[in-house]
């Protein structure tokens, strides 16, 4: 019995010549079919797994039996089964995301240099990062390491000095006089930290001398209200003369000129102008300066809450500027009863409060 016969006999467990002859005939048919096919036969992954499952137990005899692929290919399949391929890792591992975010957070909150941030991380025991990595993190996010970043953004400056920072500006209101309509210039100051507004005056002829005089009035008002003032924002309006800046400088106030055409740099003052126009002045034809003074005083009392918190401010979390007068507790069975509406300017401005018992 030759090798082929012995192999087939072992595979099938056949004990008679008839079984061996059947298997020999099957092999002959397979060889004929294989010869009529192309030189290369592509097998699917599932077919490959089937061939390996039944072919590996044959050992070296597979060289004599395999015909669908070359014996070398089959042996390569076996080697690949036992080879665990791991992706190659090169270079340093990536900095953990939470550490990257901490670096960016410190940079945005402090405007520190990369060296200073690195020192702060070392102080916190986060020494798994080097100075060059801190610099790379900042540059990857478009944040230049100091001193390129200078003193921080304008928004950071405003936030840092809000408690001692004021903004001032003019807005015009047409008033009806005996000679027709005239433009009246209203001059006001706004404390950025508290959002309280002080109108120093208005005039139809805002000369530099008049504006400088209002600077003195403002300093007196700030001192009376115990507002510590270190910086004042103003634009490049020609009505601000050298005497205006000199008056403030004499009081230790640094004038920050912004613009031109940059209203966002004095955004709080610009927003207040929008509020007083939309909520009050746009609803009236103003008959003279006396009428204007009344409208301004009523709106200012409503805005600042001179009689107790009246107008909630969205920029301060919907909290009134002035302390709210403590309201009596609402009855348990009627929480909406006893609520009164206080009106100003003929009902244009409204404020709701609970009536005391």
pLDDT confidence tier of residue 3, bands split at 50, 70 and 90 = very low
d(CA 77, CA 69): 11
Domain of residue 56, residue span: 3-81
More confident residue, 87 or 164: 164
DSSP letter (8 states) at residue 113 = B
In this predicted structure, the answer to whether residue 7 has a pLDDT above a threshold of 60 is no
Q: 164 and 270 share a domain?
A: yes
Q: What is the pLDDT of residue 277?
A: 95
Mean pLDDT of 113-136: 84
* Full-model pTM: 0.58
User: By the 8 A CB rule, do 251 and 218 touch?
Assistant: no
Examine residue 110 and state whether it is found in any structural domain, yes or no.
yes
Q: Express each pLDDT in 24-56 by its tens digit.
A: 776 777 777 767 776 677 778 888 888 888 778
- The domain boundary residue, chosen from 264, 289, 314: 289
Q: 276 and 178 share a domain?
A: yes
- The domain boundary residue, chosen from 271, 289, 307: 289
Examine residue 140 and state whether it is found in any structural domain, yes or no.
yes
Beta strands in the chain (DSSP E): 165-177, 180-191, 197-203, 231-234, 254-257, 312-313, 319-320, 339-344, 349-354
Examine residue 344 and state whether it is found in any structural domain, yes or no.
no
More confident residue, 258 or 351: 258
Q: What is the pLDDT of residue 186?
A: 97
Mean pLDDT of 194-212: 94
In this predicted structure, the answer to whether residue 150 has a pLDDT above a threshold of 90 is no
pLDDT confidence tier of residue 87, bands split at 50, 70 and 90 = low
Question: Which residues are registered as beta bridge partners of 232?
Answer: 166, 255
Q: 57 and 112 share a domain?
A: no
Q: 127 and 240 share a domain?
A: no
Lowest pLDDT segment from 93-102, 235-244, 252-261, 305-314: 305-314
Q: What is the pLDDT of residue 331?
A: 53
SS3 category, 223: helix
Q: 108 and 178 share a domain?
A: no
User: By the 8 A CB rule, do 11 and 62 touch?
Assistant: no
In this predicted structure, the answer to whether residue 126 has a pLDDT above a threshold of 50 is yes
Mean pLDDT of 63-87: 74
pLDDT confidence tier of residue 66, bands split at 50, 70 and 90 = confident
Mean pLDDT of 95-111: 84
Mean pLDDT of 7-30: 62
Q: What is the pLDDT of residue 234?
A: 94
Q: 53 and 127 share a domain?
A: no
Q: 162 and 284 share a domain?
A: yes
Q: What is the pLDDT of residue 132?
A: 87
């Amino acid at each position: 019995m030759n090798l082929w016969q012995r192999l087939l006999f072992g595979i099938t467990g056949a004990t008679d010549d008839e079984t061996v002859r059947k298997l020999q005939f099957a092999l002959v048919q397979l060889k004929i079919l294989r010869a009529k096919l192309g030189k290369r036969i592509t097998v699917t992954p599932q077919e490959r797994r089937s061939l390996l499952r039944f072919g590996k137990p044959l050992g070296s005899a597979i060289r004599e039996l395999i015909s669908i692929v070359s014996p070398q290919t089959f042996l390569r399949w076996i080697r690949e089964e036992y080879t665990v391929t791991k992706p190659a890792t090169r270079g340093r591992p990536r900095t953990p995301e939470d550490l990257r975010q901490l670096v960016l957070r410190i940079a945005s909150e402090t405007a520190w240099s990369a060296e200073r941030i690195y020192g702060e991380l070392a102080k916190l025991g986060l020494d798994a990062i080097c100075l060059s990595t801190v610099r790379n993190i900042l540059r990857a996010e478009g944040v230049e390491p100091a001193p390129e970043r200078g003193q921080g953004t304008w928004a950071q400056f405003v936030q840092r000095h809000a408690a001692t920072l004021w903004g001032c500006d003019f807005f015009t209101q047409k008033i009806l006089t005996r000679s027709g309509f005239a433009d009246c210039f209203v001059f006001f100051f706004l404390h950025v930290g508290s959002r309280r507004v002080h109108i120093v005056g208005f005039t139809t002829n805002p000369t530099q001398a008049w504006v400088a005089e209002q600077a003195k009035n403002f300093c007196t008002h700030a001192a009376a209200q115990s507002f510590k003032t270190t910086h004042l924002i103003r634009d490049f309006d020609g009505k601000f003369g050298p005497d205006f800046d000199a008056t403030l400088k004499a009081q230790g106030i640094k004038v920050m000129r912004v613009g031109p055409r940059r209203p966002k740099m004095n955004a709080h003052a610009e927003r207040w102008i929008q509020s007083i126009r939309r909520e009050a002045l746009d609803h009236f034809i103003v008959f003279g300066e006396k009428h204007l003074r009344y409208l301004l005083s009523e709106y200012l009392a409503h805005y600042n809450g001179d009689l107790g918190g009246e107008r909630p401010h969205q920029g301060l979390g919907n909290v009134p500027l002035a302390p709210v007068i403590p309201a009596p507790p609402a009855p348990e069975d009627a929480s909406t009863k006893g609520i009164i509406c206080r009106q100003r300017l003929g009902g244009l401005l409204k404020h709701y409060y609970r009536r005391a018992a």
